[in-house]
Amino acid sequence: MQIHQLDMWLHGHHKDTYKKPKVFVIGCSDVSDYLLAVEYKHQLEPIKNGEDPIHFGSLELVKEELLRLGIDKAYLRLHNAYDEFGSEGSDSYCDIELSLVTH
């Protein structure tokens, strides 16, 4: 999904039953950048600018962008690239709610 599409989705006219989409910040134990993704039809769609996913060098930069978009709640999804085999039946990631409140 393009960043401008997400912006239009968030700020467009909605019905009273509208719920904001669930936004994820994707991180991996072997990568220093973070990506944004949005849950759409029960799947994660990466947020892109043109052809490439948008990369952020720190969580603070991600939070600034989320606040600029008007998003007040997001989840940090951490993947463990070193857990090749994992525990049977368990996820290879962990979701943590991010605090986007500015002090």
73-83 pLDDT, tens digit per residue, is 999 998 776 66
User: Domain limits at 81?
Assistant: 3-9+21-98
Domain for residue 81, yes or no?
A: yes
33-70 pLDDT, tens digit per residue, is 999 999 999 899 999 999 999 999 999 999 999 999 98
Q: Does residue 88 register a pLDDT over 80?
A: no
- Identify which has the larger pLDDT, 20 or 2: 2
Confidence of residue 18 (pLDDT cuts 50, 70, 90): confident
CA–CA dist 10, 4 (Å, integer): 10
Q: Among 13, 17, 103, 19, which residue's Cα sits nearest to residue 60? A: 103
Domain for residue 103, yes or no?
A: no
* pTM of the entire predicted model: 0.80
Q: Can you give the pLDDT at residue 32?
A: 82
User: Number of structural domains, the chain?
Assistant: 1
